[in-house]
Amino acid sequence: MTKKEMEVKEKKAIDSTEGEPTKKGIYFTPPVDIFETEEAITLLADVPGAAKEGLDIDLREGVLTITADVEEPEQKGEPVYKEYDVGGFTRRFQIGKEIDQEKITAELESGVLTVHLPKAESLKPRKIPVSVG
C-alpha cells in the first residue's frame, strides 16, 4: 500500500462573533481524534507550540472545553515569508457520557494533547456472574 502524502490544511481561525471563548489573540480549531473504549473516552488534539502552562481543560454540564495558549515565538529578525498564522487553540465538545471528573488526566507531547476521560464507575458495563443453583 502506498503511503498517503500529507497536505497543508489551512488552520481554521475561530470567528469571535460566534461567541467562542476569546482571550486576546487568534484562536484556531485544532484537528482531533476521539475514540472510546468501555472504560474511557480519549481525545487527541494537534496543538503545535502549546506549553503545559497554557493548557486549560474544563468539563462541566457535559461540555468539554480544551484551550491551549500558544506564545508567539521569540521574534528572530524580520518576517520575510509567511504561510501560517500563530495562535492558540480552543474547541468544545458535547460529551454525552458520564465522566469521572476526578480522574481526567492530560498529557502534552510534541505538540499533541492527549486527554483521558475515564467513564464513571457506574456506567461501565459490568459482567454479572450468573450463579447456577
Which residues would be at the binding site for other proteins (CB under 8 A)? 3-10, 31-37, 41-42, 44-51, 73, 75-84, 86, 110-112
CA–CA distance, 66 with 119 (Å, rounded to integer): 18
Q: Which residues, 6+ apart, have CB-to-CB distance to 8 below 8 Å?
A: 83
Would you say 79 or 125 has its CB closer to other proteins?
79
Select 22 or 114, whichever has its Cβ closest to other proteins. Answer: 114
Give the C-alpha separation, 118 to 79, whole Å. 44
Q: Which is nearer to other proteins, 82 or 131 (CB)?
A: 82
Q: Residue 91's Cα: distance from chain center in Å?
A: 7
Q: How far is the CB of 132 from other proteins (least distance, A)?
A: 30
Residue 71: HSE in the Cβ half-sphere, 13 Å Cα cutoff: 7
CB of 52 to other proteins, least distance (A): 10
Query: Residue 50 or 115: which CB sits closer to other proteins?
Result: 50
